[in-house]
Structure 1
Amino acid sequence: MRGRQLGRAAICLMTVGVTASVTACGAGREAAVAPPRPPTTGDVTAHREADEQAAGKAALDAYSGYLAASRTASRRGDPHAPELSRFLADPLLTRVRMAIRDAKEHGAMRTGTLRSAPTVTAVSLDSDPPTVEIQDCLDATGYRLVYTTDGRAVPGSGGKRYLATATATRYPDGRWLISAGAAHQDQPC
């Protein structure tokens, strides 16, 4: 038994010795390699621009998803449609759910087509949390609030073209969600 323990100890020492010599040899070769150069201002700027473009694209995708999800949920009269929380965060999520619930309680729903032409107006990756500001010209001329019983348009609910703004926020899990939005119906576009 004692011979077996000595054999194991000898193997361990030999392994350590070989590892140390290989590491030592490797250290000599690594020292001969030039150290990596620090990034230049151009590299940093290009990387920053790429990050901002990726954030803008992700925010616009979330915004488009928000519009589609809210149209679908409005058409079904479902304020708790799961797709809403895939693209929206509070406080906007609660506002959208309340609007859908109010329309449903009054026997109405949204139908038709809502046209959108969003653009990114600002990207702030250094803010905590990072945000992207979006501006949109919504065309709601073909998007109406109608009574569910007979499909008649609700009086005073005719749509028009107007400016809308939204804020996309990046959450700790990496998702971009629309957290704030405003319809500026007094500002045509």
Structure 2
Amino acid sequence: MRGRQLRRAAICLLVGVAAMPVTACASGRETVERPTEARDNDPRTDSDVERRAAEKAALDAYSGYLAASRTAGLRSDPRLPELSRFLGDPLLTRVRVSIREAKEHGAMRTGTFKSDPSVTAVSLDAKPATVEIQDCLDTTGYRLVYAKDKRSVPGSGGGRHLSTATATRYPDGRWLINYGATHRDQPC
């Protein structure tokens, strides 16, 4: 936000200086710059750049969340430091509780899953800024098994289903996934 204000102030100052009559000697190495109006019509505006940066940061956080959750599940470690690098509450607590409960019942995660996320909405003007993500998660190769004998826990089978998440920009500038839902009733 502050950077945008500084850029606006610099542009106003530049326009003000350019509007003043100036007498100068040419050096023969002048640079040609588009007028301010042409730059303002450039499709790559500050808001587009910010939007793309937010989308990338949110998708990176989502990818990190999936990787950290998988690693924590495989290790049965609800305190894995990577979780707090990519997750914020309330989702961070939910994931940790889920891993801890599985461990207490002698279960752990095994295997891999496939993800194909996309951004569905960006709200940079919201307080805090958010990015909505939708994913078709394929968990057919990702199972909850008993740690002792690696038998599948009944009712824990995977599949392909819709998953949604929200990335939120925190005051320190990090984008964290703080909401996530699996819609098992919506195959993809």
Residues 81-119 of structure 1 show CA distances to partners (whole Å, capped at 9, x for unaligned) of 100000000000000000000100000001101110000
Q: Which has the higher helix share?
A: 1
**3-state SS of the aligned residue for 1:121?**
strand
Count of aligned residue pairs for this structure pair: 161
1:145 aligned onto 2:107: no
Displacement after TM superposition at 1:39 (Å) = 8.1
* Distance (whole Å) between structure 1 residues aligned to residue 82 and residue 162 of structure 2: 24
1:79 corresponds in structure 2 to 78
**3-state SS of the aligned residue for 1:185?**
strand
AA aligned opposite 1:157? S
1:12 corresponds in structure 2 to none
1:157 corresponds in structure 2 to 156
* Greater C-alpha Rg: 1
2:16 corresponds in structure 1 to none
Displacement after TM superposition at 1:52 (Å) = 0.6
* Distance (whole Å) between structure 2 residues aligned to residue 164 and residue 54 of structure 1: 22
* Distance (whole Å) between structure 1 residues aligned to residue 135 and residue 64 of structure 2: 14
**3-state SS of the aligned residue for 2:125?**
coil
AA aligned opposite 1:47? D
**3-state SS of the aligned residue for 1:183?**
strand
**3-state SS of the aligned residue for 2:113?**
strand
* Distance (whole Å) between structure 1 residues aligned to residue 68 and residue 36 of structure 2: 48
1:100 aligned onto 2:99: yes
**3-state SS of the aligned residue for 2:112?**
strand
Displacement after TM superposition at 1:43 (Å) = 4.3
AA aligned opposite 2:70? R
Identical columns (%): 69
* Distance (whole Å) between structure 1 residues aligned to residue 70 and residue 94 of structure 2: 14
2:114 corresponds in structure 1 to 115
Q: For structure 2, which runs of at least 5 residues remain unmatched after alignment? A: 1-18, 24-34
* Distance (whole Å) between structure 2 residues aligned to residue 121 and residue 75 of structure 1: 30
AA aligned opposite 1:112? G
RMSD: 2.3
1:170 aligned onto 2:187: no
Displacement after TM superposition at 1:172 (Å) = 1.1
* Distance (whole Å) between structure 1 residues aligned to residue 39 and residue 133 of structure 2: 31
**3-state SS of the aligned residue for 1:55?**
helix
1:58 corresponds in structure 2 to 57
Q: Normalized against structure 1, the TM-score is what?
A: 0.79
